[in-house]
Amino acid sequence: MQEERRLVWRVARRWMEIGHDGRLPRRDEIDRCVMGEDWENCLLIAVQSPIEYSRFVSVGVNLAVALCPTDTLAGVLLSRLSRVVAARRGAMIEGGATLSGVGILYRATLLPLSEDGATIDHVLGAANYRSASAEEASTLEVTSRTHWLLESPIPS
């Protein structure tokens, strides 16, 4: 089998393999050893109630620069958190954003985790991005496309 070249699909596949028995993976099943080199492009969000109090608990070195004010890749991922938690399944997100004042195109995934199998307490994220070309930058607005993974493996 050929190795998947796209980071977000590799991370999503590992998440699905860990939860293969119809359950969401636990936080302790997701770490640097499981994700390998991809961990540098991953982040972990502790889900709080209300959702606006959720916070980053781990950020890979390649995403650390994304922890700037609101109009950033990290902000984009946080803005999708409530939808992922409500849907109780993973999402792939593609779109444009601003990182340190520069337009970027990104692909990301947000994947729920649950310690008890019912409550989503963390969300694993993975993202990669590149600078938008001049032509792409001129059309960059806050646009994104969300693709949902699997039906909810746990009851609502």
The answer to whether 113 touches 124, Cβ cutoff 8 Å, is: yes
Question: What pLDDT digit, counting tens, does each position of 87-133 carry?
Answer: 999 999 998 877 777 788 889 999 999 999 889 999 999 999 888 88
For residue 78, pLDDT over 80 is answered with yes
Give the pair of three-digit tokens for residue 81. 């958190």
Q: Cα 118 vs. chain centroid, distance in angstroms? A: 20
Span 22-38, average pLDDT: 84
Q: What does the pLDDT average to over 44-50?
A: 95
DSSP 62: T
CATH number of 7-148: 3.30.450
- Best CA proximity match to 8, nearest among 85, 92, 66, 84: 92
State both tokens at 141. 């607005």
Tell me how long the chain is. 156
Please give the pLDDT value at position 153: 47
All structural domains of the chain with their residue ranges: 7-148
